[in-house]
Each structure stands twice: as structure tokens, then as C-alpha cells.
Amino acid sequence: MPMDLNQQKEQFSNAYFCAVVAAAGYSFYKPNVDDGSIDWGIKGYREPDLNYIPQLELQLKCTANEEYLSKPKISFDLGRKNYNDLANDTSLIPRILIVVIVPDNLAKWSEHTESHLILRYCAYWLSLKGQASIEGAKKRVYLDRTNVFSVKTLKEIMTYIGVNGEL
């Protein structure tokens, strides 16, 4: 029996994440148990200009949303546990939310030829550090479309963490 659509979204977002991190040159790990809303971690390296070896952990989500292309921010409903875990600022390792946006039509998620592989559409990141905990079942968060999760941006985030020890 084939995967349901939500399982496909999860696997696609994992592949997207892994492609970006590998292209950026960092190692990554997947915790055996996701009890702290951590789907993936990224580990940097000791570099001369850094004060710390950067590390980042994240919750990874995926949604089909064609409307985001026409708006400056992407709205996403995040469950209470995930929201509160990411907002908790007692963690020593910075945490972010990454939301991968895919087309409504599954057939358009990817395209490949001998010369290229295209993964549609894009991933965005958001730090919830320091936000107040919520009591409701979920909270709508807004991801700025300028916060693209790309190779360039990931390197900038990891450098910032390596210099400052936090995000």
C-alpha cells in the first residue's frame, strides 16, 4: 500500500532538508526519539573564526500551499507541544522551525533530467525562542518569506551560532 499524502510530505521535507545541509557541508543527525520536537540536528565544525562549534536543532514540517507565493508571510498552524518546545529558551542548542512548502499537485513536487533535479517549492525557517507558552491546541505562526532555508542562509545561521553561541 502506498504512503498517504502526509507521509509523502514528511519524506519529501526530509529529502529537501538533507539536500540543503549536505550541499552546505555540514553533518546532520536524526534523534531516535522525537520527544522534544526535534526532528533533525545539524553539527558544524571547529573553524578558526568561530568561538563555538555550531549546532542547531529543528522541527521540520511540510504543507501544500499555492497561496504563499502572493504573500510576504506564510501562515502555519503549529501544535501546542511543538510550539512550546521550540519557544522554550532553556535549551543550550538553538532550535528553529522549518516549513517546506510544496505544490498542491503532487506531480509537480519534483522534476528531474540528466542535467538537473528540481524540488518545488521552498523551505522557510523561524525561531520561536523566547515566545510565551500557549495553552490552546495550536498557534498560528508566520514565517517571513525572506527567511529561506537555503545553503547560503544555513551557513550564515551556523556562523552566527559559532560566533555568538546562540541564535
Other CB atoms within 10 Å distance of the CB of residue 28: 16
pLDDT tens for 28-73 read 999 998 778 999 999 999 999 999 999 999 999 999 988 888 899 9
Reading phi first (left if > 0) and then psi (alpha if -120 to 50, else beta), residue 25 is in: left
Tell me the residue ranges of DSSP E strands in the chain: 27-29, 40-43, 55-64, 73-79, 95-102, 110-112, 117-119, 122-126, 138-144
Contact yes or no for 63/77 (Cβ under 8 A) = no
Q: pLDDT of 61-80, one tens digit each?
A: 999 988 888 899 999 999 99
Confidence tier at 2 by pLDDT (50, 70, 90):
confident
- In sequence order, the 6+-apart residues with CB closer than 8 A to the CB of 135 are 80
CA distance 42 to 90: 19
Average pLDDT over residues 101-112: 94
Mean pLDDT rounded to a whole number for the chain: 94
Nearest-angstrom CA–CA distance, 48 and 159: 11
Kindly list the domain boundaries of the chain, sorted by start residue.
5-164
pLDDT at 88: 87
| Alpha-carbon gap, residue 9 to 12, rounded angstroms | 5
Contacts of 142 (CB under 8 A, 6+ apart): 73, 74, 75, 76, 126
CATH topology of domain 5-164: Trna Endonuclease; Chain: A, domain 1 (3.40.1350)
CA distance 143 to 79: 15
Spatial contact of 34 and 122, defined as CB atoms under 8 Å apart = no
